[in-house]
């Protein structure tokens, strides 16, 4: 909430209140079917107790945000995101559905609509509520492995069958030191037996202290040939207030040191040349590059300078917009690995169709994309930020096998 003005928070609270007034109006059409007046009163009282309590808590939290311990602040903000959305969205759907059914009234007679319409409306609210609850408590930890095989003419024969596991957007602060939550993910990764493990940014939400104790977890990751990482926009500390530039730099240095502690080489606008049987590929890592006014730390020209003659290049770049702005059609980079979008942590999926509102902000927001012979993969993220849930957008472990076209 710190990034929103008090005026914006008040507008949000007014929206919550208006939806709740409409929801309560229609709720009364349902409770009117209950004969016991005491039960009606309890239901009505609980409804408004929750609404007033939520709005009051949100305003108080905003007003006192600067005085709250940063660790507790992250937990509170995430919790209130969850409460607000799990309350607002089901009620909004409930109001829309029951209003449409009532005012169109094509399906039922007048006597039937007095009972059937409220019941359908009630279920229309309960279903999204349970979906959100599932996303908060279960789906958020149901790590999914996405397997892809990509074929190239330019891949050196010595690297045919190379297996890469990509992780992104871990946001470890959101796990609140619940180390056991990632044990399943670690086991899934090691079971894939990757040659390389690559992390494409946003290790933390803001602070290095979020990493306390996590080195014991990530030291268990196994890759036969190497582990590399880059930084994401949240890893620089740009979204927090600091007592001094020195404090911000110390935080940044601690995050970089963490990667060393867990055996990952952090690529800061630089490249690593990989040799196999006198053939070569390059793994390139740029610092975060996003469209302005966001800060652009990434320098692709600097990162690729030493590997211009390497025939096959893999780029790690946190923000997928970098691919369209500086990579495709301008470089010979074969594969770019990104993250950043989280797939908005919410999507609708049916068979091969996947849709999320995030597509209106990012052209490339989840999965594999191709432009001629250049590929981009956007990881959906392993952790979460803000809304503490995953709805139709499970946390992702990406496994990519590189194959060479054989004549």
Quote the CA–CA distance of 71 and 174 in Å, as a whole number: 10
162-167 and 396-404 strand pairing: antiparallel
Q: Model confidence at 95, in pLDDT bands (50, 70, 90)? A: confident
pLDDT tens for each residue of 358-406: 999 999 999 999 999 999 999 999 999 988 999 999 999 999 999 998 7
**DSSP code per residue over 58-112:** HHHHHHHGGGS-HHHHHHHHHHHHHHHHHHHHHHHHHHHHHHHHHHH--SS-HHH
Superfamily of domain 144-404: Metallo-dependent phosphatases (3.60.21.10)
156 CB contacts (<8 Å, ≥6 apart)? 276, 279, 280, 281, 311, 312, 404
pTM for this entry: 0.89
The two tokens of residue 5 are: 């003005």
For residue 224, the model assigns a pLDDT of: 97
Choice among 15-19, 100-104, 255-259 with the minimum mean pLDDT: 100-104
Give the residue with greater pLDDT, 204 vs 31. Answer: 204
Q: What is the mean pLDDT of residues 63-71?
A: 71
For position 94, what pLDDT does the model report? 86
pLDDT tens digits, residue range 131-184?
A: 999 999 999 999 999 999 999 999 999 999 999 999 999 999 999 999 999 999
pLDDT band at 2 (very low <50, low <70, confident <90, very high): very low
Domain coordinates of the chain in residue numbers?
6-137, 144-404
CA 36 remoteness from chain centre? 46
CA–CA separation, 88 and 72 (whole Å): 24
- Identify any residues that bridge with 265 across adjacent strands, giving them in sequence order: 228
Q: Summarize the confidence of residues 1-16 as an average pLDDT.
A: 76
């Amino acid at each position: 909430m710190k990034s929103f003005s008090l005026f914006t928070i008040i507008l949000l609270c007014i929206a919550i209140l208006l939806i709740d007034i409409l929801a309560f109006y229609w709720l009364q059409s349902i409770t009117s079917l209950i004969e016991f007046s005491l039960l009606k009163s309890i239901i009505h009282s609980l409804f408004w107790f929750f609404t007033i309590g939520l709005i009051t808590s949100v305003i108080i939290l905003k007003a006192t945000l600067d005085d709250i311990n940063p660790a507790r602040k992250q937990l509170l903000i995430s919790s209130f995101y969850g409460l607000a959305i799990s309350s607002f969205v089901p009620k909004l759907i409930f109001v829309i559905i029951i209003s449409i059914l009532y005012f169109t009234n094509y399906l039922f007679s007048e006597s039937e609509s007095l009972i059937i319409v409220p019941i359908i409306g009630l279920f229309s609210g309960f279903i999204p509520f349970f979906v959100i609850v599932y996303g908060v408590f279960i789906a958020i930890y149901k790590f999914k492995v996405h397997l892809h095989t990509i074929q190239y003419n330019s891949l050196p024969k010595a690297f045919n069958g190379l297996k890469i596991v990509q992780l992104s957007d871990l946001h470890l602060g959101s796990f609140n030191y619940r180390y056991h939550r990632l044990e399943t993910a670690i086991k899934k990764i090691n079971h894939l037996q990757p040659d390389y493990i690559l992390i494409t940014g946003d290790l933390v939400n803001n602070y290095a202290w979020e990493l306390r104790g996590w080195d014991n977890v990530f030291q268990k990751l196994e890759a036969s040939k190497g582990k590399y990482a880059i930084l994401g926009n949240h890893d620089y500390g740009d979204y927090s207030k600091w007592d001094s530039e020195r404090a911000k730099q110390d935080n940044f240095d601690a995050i970089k040191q963490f990667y060393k502690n867990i055996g990952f080489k952090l690529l800061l606008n630089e490249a690593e040349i990989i040799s196999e049987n006198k053939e070569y590929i390059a793994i390139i890592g740029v610092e975060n590059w996003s469209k302005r006014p966001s800060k652009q730390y990434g320098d692709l020209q600097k990162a690729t300078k030493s590997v211009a003659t390497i025939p096959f290049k893999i780029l790690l770049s946190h923000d997928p917009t970098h691919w369209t702005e500086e990579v495709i059609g301008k470089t010979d980079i074969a594969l770019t690995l990104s993250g950043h979008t989280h797939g908005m942590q919410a999507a609708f999926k049916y068979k091969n169709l996947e849709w999320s509102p995030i597509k209106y902000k990012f052209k490339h927001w989840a999965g594999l994309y191709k432009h001629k012979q250049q590929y981009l993969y956007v990881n959906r993220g392993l952790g979460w930020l803000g809304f503490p849930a995953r709805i139709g957008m499970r946390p992702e472990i990406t496994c990519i096998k590189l194959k060479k076209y054989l004549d």
